[in-house]
Homo-oligomer: A and B are copies of this chain.
Amino acid sequence: MTNAISYTEENYLKAIFSLTLKSKKGASTNDIAKRLETKASSVTDMIKKLAEKGLVDYKKYQGTNLTSEGREVAVGTVRKHRLWEVFLVEKLGFGWDEVHDIAEQLEHIRSKELTVRLDDFLGNPKYDPHGDPIPDKEGNIALHKEVMLEDLKTEDKAVVVGVKDSSTEFLQYLEQTGLVLGAEIEVKEIIAFDKSVSISINKAGAQTVSNLVSKNIYIKKI
């Protein structure tokens, strides 16, 4: 047990992973603190420990990046998180807005064999209930094609393939609006004033969603 990785460390690595996914700059101490709802000073402490263990690259005041070993741990945790989310929704019948907090716990269960068997039991899914890609056993992870609902023009047609914001409130709003994964949408009108957009969902009557909504929905044009 010289080098066991704690739940807390896994959560830090996962936060750094997602914060550095897009930007090539290191994750800032403040951003990590915000993400984990903790204080900057706590983050500095932990970063030092992770650097000591060879899981992150860190130079004072310069932001933090994962080493390949750190990335491996982070991706493994993300893989487990998303597989468990699939289990909770597909097998236990939870709503997509109810599974995050439980998966946040389940992702820390330590057993390679369990992950393999769970993956098989679920039919080796490629996406989680929010449309996020599930890393494979080797840690390869598909990147989200960065097309959002807000990028569409009038008369464009598309399918909802994911959500950027996975908060309960947002997911419940989408559920009730009908903007769930797989929904077909057509853009009827874009209101220049506030960038809100009028769309029809599954060929039903038009409804309007704000830009805050349209910029948080991944779509694929058809």
Contact = CB atoms under 8 A, between A and B. Distances in A.
Interface string A94-112: 1000100110011001110
A36 interface: no
Interface stretch (A22-30, A60-68, A113-121): A113-121
A123 interface: no
A205 interface: no
A102 B121 contact: no
A119 to B, nearest CB: 10
A94 B120 CA distance: 13
Contacts of A101: 111
B117 A92 contact: yes
Nearest to A102: B111
What copy number does this chain have within its complex?
A: 2
Interface in A65-100: 88, 91-94, 98
A110 B104 CA distance: 11
Contacts of A121: 91-92
A108 B119 CA distance: 22
Interface in A117-131: 117-118, 121
Contact of A114 (B92, B113, B117, B118): B92
Contact of A106 (B94, B98, B109): B109
A114 B106 CA distance: 11
Nearest to A101: B111
A88 B114 CA distance: 8
B105 A93 contact: no
A8 to B, nearest CB: 13
Contacts of A117: 92-94
A115 to B, nearest CB: 10
A29 to B, nearest CB: 25
Contacts of A98: 113
12 contacts: A88-B114, A91-B121, A92-B117, A92-B118, A94-B117, A98-B113, A101-B111, A102-B114, A105-B109, A105-B110, A105-B111, A106-B106
Interface of A: 88, 91-94, 98, 101-102, 105-106, 109-111, 113-114, 117-118, 121
